[in-house]
Amino acid sequence: MSGLVAIHQPNFFPWLGYFDKIRRADIFVLLDAVAYPRAGSGGMGSWCNRVRLDVQGEARWVTCPLRRAPLGTSIATTEIDDTQSWRPKLLRTLEVNYGKAPQFATCMTILEPLISAPESNLAAFNIRAIEAIAAQLRLSTRFIRQSTLSYSGHATELLISLVKAVGGSTYMSGDGAAGYQRDELFAENGLGLVKQNFSPISYGEPSRFIPGLSVIDYLMWDGRPLASGSRS
C-alpha cells in the first residue's frame, strides 16, 4: 500500500496550500480526465488557467488564455490560446512587481523556462510547472495523472476508485470538500480519511503579505523547501 493519497486538478501555478497537500501525500493524483471546470456563465476562467499575484500591492488575476471548447471537454484536452501574447506579458508582470524581491533572480531561472516553453496543452503545461516547483521545494511525492489510470464513478466514488487504483490506504481531503464529499463512503470502502486543514503562514515582509496568492509569490519572497514541514 502507498499510504496517503491526495487528488487535485492540475492548476495554474497554484497557491501554497496546494503544495502543502503535495508535501503531505505519498501519491498525488492529477485529476486531468474530468471536465474542464467552468466559472460563471460558461466562461473558461478557473483555477486551471488563472491565479492571483501581488500586482501593485493588490491580489490580481493573471491568466493563461484558452481556446474555447465545448462543455464537457476534459482538462487533458484543453488547449492554450497562443494567438494572445500572454507569456511575455506574464514575464513582464513578474519583473515589474517582483523585481525587488530577494529571490527574484533564482525564481526566474525556474519560471522563465516554464512560462516560455512552447506547450499548447494546458494540462501538460500545468503539470510540468507543478512538478518543477515541487522539485524546487524538495518534495518527493509521486505524481500520477488520472488519465493513465483505470477508474470508475463520479464525485466521492471517483475519489475512492482513484485511491484504490494507486494502491492507497488513506485519502487526504482538501478544505473545500464539505459541500459535496460523502465522508462515510471512505470507511465503507476500507479507506482512511484525513483532512488537510492548511492555514496560511506569513512569509517575506509582513507589510506586503497577501494570503492565497500563487506559489510564485512564496518563491519570490521566501522559497525555503517545504519538505521539513516548516510551513504546515
The pLDDT assigned to 38 comes to 81
Sequence spans of domains, the chain: 4-221
Q: How far apart are CA 82 and CA 147, in angstroms?
A: 24
The pLDDT assigned to 46 comes to 94
pTM: predicted TM-score of the whole model, two decimal places: 0.94
Q: How far apart are CA 48 and CA 57, in angstroms?
A: 24
The pLDDT assigned to 193 comes to 97
Beta carbons within 8 Å of 99's beta carbon, 6+ residues apart: none
Assign 59 to helix, strand or coil.
strand
The pLDDT assigned to 42 comes to 54
Taking the mean position of all CA atoms in its chain, how far away is CA 79?
17
Positions in the chain short of pLDDT 70 = 1-2, 40-42, 177-179, 228-232
The pLDDT assigned to 232 comes to 38
Cell numbers describing residue 36:
474542464
